[in-house]
Structure 1
Amino acid sequence: MFLTTAILFWEVASPVTHAATSLNQSRWEQAIINIESTRVVYDSMQPWIKRPRTYLKTGVVIAPREILTAAEDLQDRTLVRVQKMGRGQFYEAEVVWLDYHANLAILTVKDDAFWKGLQPVPLLRGAPSRDDLRVARWLNANLEIRRVEFSQYTMDDSRLSPIPALYLEFDSEMKSIGGSAPLISGGKLAGITCQQVDNHVRALTATFISSVLEERKKGNYRGLGFFPFYWQPTPNTASHKYLKLPGEPRGVAVIFVPELPVVEENLKPMDIILQVDGFDIDPQGRYLDPDYGQQILENLSIRGKFAGDIVRFTVWRDGAIRVVNYRLPRFDYHLRLLPDHVFDREPEYLIAGGLVMVPLNKPFLRSWGDDWKRRAPFRLVYYDNEFPTPDRPSLVVMSFVLPDAYNLGYQDLRALAVEKVNGKVVRNLREVKEALSSPQKGYHIIEFVRSDTIRRIVLDASQMETANARILKRYGIPKAESLSSP
């Protein structure tokens, strides 16, 4: 099997630069870095297949021997190289710190020669001027700096995590600037880009970046916290009357609260959230941020707050105003029944008689494409909003069947959640492997979660080992399993 490398290049454009006379261009020439990240990309359906892929992005020197960039495209990395001044030698770099949820990373280079002629740039404090926004990048060995047009501040999921992120959105005719290009305002770093769709670009703000990096510098960075509860707007005044809330309609109603042991004082369903850290919440769940205008209340979980910090909720509960000192839980991918990502380790799989078993997670569902919520089997998408429980901490799915005489009749089955193997409930691949060591009267019986298709598969246990060897050889698969450590 041959591995092919695909390299994503920045679009080649005119070498003409567009630097404003008020900017010290040489200062940015000494700070903006080209980054080349090579990482392994896995096939979620056939997890034994991996391909190297190289991405080009940008970094900014923000401190002695420290380069700031987005964490995206640094996952499952095998090699990171950097280049200064937009040309010349590439140097091997090391990722010294990274947070996928914040989408931030710090790189360094051991070779002293790389740092000669480079100077850090300061991060902007507060919101940038909307009339003074520029984006910079190296293009054909020339530094290109252009004005961009401010659009809005908006909340959305982080690029690599479902926790919220505040973005500065702007419009630009520049192409391929979504990969950590520096956003400049007042001669300072106002943010780094992280996404581009056509002419619309999103950037993480310097305020958020600074708060995270300052916590890291203190040596007690605990990661980002989040609000795991669900709420709904209260535009209909009948909701307030039903809950006997006096005065003008305000606040939002809590509708679901997961059980998390870290949260001692918790919200409850039917609470109306009136204030969060002193900010009034309107019936649409928004508050007036002094820097960024009207924002959704989730921003208050990351506005200078981190996991373990207390957020003060004022709620209407049981006919009275209550104060809840809510301790922010730290987000982890495994806090959801279907983990959003599995980074920096090989994906798990187990092949049993041609049946390909994998953990049910978001990467598996995303193999149906960007519209996976509609295209993936609804019986699997259903689990996306579920939280793990002691009885069901995770799920196993039979991805598909590698056709062989051994599994004849089952070869068209795919995407079925596994419930039991040989009479034992299985919640991960290690439990599947253990259950396969105890066949029932000479047969392996695999049972699936109830659906509109087949409920069980029966296979001859005495022939499985021989069939596995034959199937691995026929399909060029290096090994029958890849399991994580217990």
Structure 2
Amino acid sequence: MTIQIDAAINGGNSGGPAIMGNKVAGVAFQNLSGAENIGYIIPVPVIKHFIAGVEESGDYVGFCSLGLSCQPTENVQLREHFKMRYDVTGVLVSKINPLSDAHRVLKKDDILLTFDGISIANDGTVPFRNRERITFDHLVSMKRPNETAKVKVLRNGEEHEFSITLCPLQPLVPVHQYDKLPSYFIFAGLVFVPLSQPYLHEYGEDWYNTSPRRLCELAVRKLPRKAGEQLVVLSEVLIDDINVGYERLAQLQVKKVNGVEIENLKQLCCLVEDCVEEFLRFDLDDERVIVLNHQSAKIATCQILKRHRIPSAMSSDLLNEAKGSSMESACLS
């Protein structure tokens, strides 16, 4: 829920109050790209919900989500296929986040009919104020963490009711990262980082069209399979004799290390650090492969770090978990 205003919101203005009379009507947070004097503010109900959550938990944990991706059911043939009577309205469940409680009870191709007793229209909206409508996601986001909601679904022509516990859900690729230094791991000049939208934003305001298409699609559409999962990317290659021929493989996702599927950057770091085999094999997206002699790569890593004045082969979050490792000790010495 947002309020559109006919005023410019320039860079650096986000977070400032929007005043109407002698009261705060909302908080400025974005403008409309390509337009003049069109901006948006966060309304008071959302601000109050945010403040109440911080006061209750002592920290910002995010807004609740059902973890669903839904499709409108306005097409008559679609409705007939899913056995929706003329007097029944709802939206089609197309994706379910495996980390959500909804994954426990709902199924793909369910028709979500009501949320807490409020009917959902075929376009996904619910009544809001006088003769207005708003997407039903608003009802979800106004719930507090660990609150339950009653949902009614149509499954194979039969109606079912379920209780779902709501909580904030972290996307596989983080949308925002505040007050947190980026994670990284450098080995043989290969710079590995977890994929995030702020990383893609470095391609400019039009990052959706200018960033690598494969990474952009993963960031927008890919769902996590388990808690703590990250998409690890070979961000760039710091040129050295050890990595000759690999410099064009940057901006690709790392799929496996020595045959083991990669779940996050910490796991990749451990697989590299604890390798006892002569060679390290990295399987990347687009069926690309990098092979390094492990011992030679360890020696080259220290030389590359000194050449580029990089104090550590890994970020502080990984370093705290890798104290005492042979490679890090050697590089620090």
TM-score by length of 1: 0.58
**Correspondence 1:321-332 to 2 at 5 A:** 321-332=159-170
Shift of 1:249: 5.9
Aligned to 1:307: 145
Three-state SS of the structure 2 residue aligned to 1:331 is: coil
Q: 1:287 to 1:174 in 2, by over 3 A?
A: closer
Q: What amino acid is the match of 2:116?
A: D
Structure with max Cα Rg: 1
Counterpart CA distance in 1 for 2:94 and 2:260 is: 35
Shift of 1:240: 2.1
Aligned to 2:239: 403
Q: 1:292 to 1:202 in 2, by over 3 A?
A: farther
Counterpart CA distance in 2 for 1:310 and 1:343 is: 29
Pick the structure with more helix per residue: 2
Q: 1:242 to 1:435 in 2, by over 3 A?
A: closer
Shift of 1:189: 2.1
Pair 1:377 & 2:216 matched: no
Aligned to 1:79: none
Aligned to 1:253: 92
Q: 1:456 to 1:483 in 2, by over 3 A?
A: farther
Shift of 1:233: 0.8
**Correspondence 1:111-260 to 2 at 5 A:** 166-172=1-7, 178-185=13-20, 187-197=22-32, 198-217=36-55, 223-248=62-87, 250-260=89-99
Pair 1:294 & 2:133 matched: yes
Aligned to 2:293: 460
Counterpart CA distance in 2 for 1:461 and 1:247 is: 66
Shift of 1:401: 0.9
Counterpart CA distance in 2 for 1:390 and 1:191 is: 36
Q: What amino acid is the match of 1:182?
A: P
Counterpart CA distance in 2 for 1:427 and 1:272 is: 32
Q: 1:318 to 1:447 in 2, by over 3 A?
A: closer
Three-state SS of the structure 2 residue aligned to 1:255 is: strand
Counterpart CA distance in 2 for 1:174 and 1:259 is: 37
Aligned to 1:433: 269
Q: Which runs of 5+ in 1 are unaligned?
A: 1-165
Q: Which runs of 5+ in 2 are unaligned?
A: 322-333
Shift of 1:423: 4.0
Pair 1:447 & 2:294 matched: no
Counterpart CA distance in 2 for 1:202 and 1:225 is: 22
Counterpart CA distance in 2 for 1:346 and 1:199 is: 34
Three-state SS of the structure 1 residue aligned to 2:105 is: coil
Q: 2:200 aligns with which of 331, 353, 365?
A: 365
Shift of 1:472: 2.0
Contact 1:394 1:428 in 2 (8 A): yes
Pick the structure with more strand per residue: 1
Q: 1:347 aligns with which of 168, 182, 190?
A: 182
Give deviations 1:286-330, integer Å, cap 9, x for gaps: 122026922111111123x21212223233223233323222122
Q: What amino acid is the match of 1:434?
A: C
Q: 1:470 to 1:217 in 2, by over 3 A?
A: closer
Give deviations 1:68-90, integer Å, cap 9, x for gaps: xxxxxxxxxxxxxxxxxxxxxxx
TM-score by length of 2: 0.81
Shift of 1:234: 1.1
Counterpart CA distance in 2 for 1:407 and 1:386 is: 30
Contact 1:314 1:321 in 2 (8 A): yes
Q: What amino acid is the match of 1:481?
A: M
Give deviations 1:155-212, integer Å, cap 9, x for gaps: xxxxxxxxxxx11111026866843332334633221212234311211111222233
Q: 2:256 aligns with which of 420, 439, 459?
A: 420
Contact 1:252 1:282 in 2 (8 A): yes
Shift of 1:377: 2.7
Aligned to 2:107: 268
Tell me the C-alpha RMSD between the 2 structures: 3.0
Contact 1:360 1:394 in 2 (8 A): yes
Shift of 1:459: 2.4
Counterpart CA distance in 2 for 1:461 and 1:177 is: 47
Contact 1:263 1:329 in 2 (8 A): no
Q: Which deviates the most, 261-270 or 464-473? A: 261-270
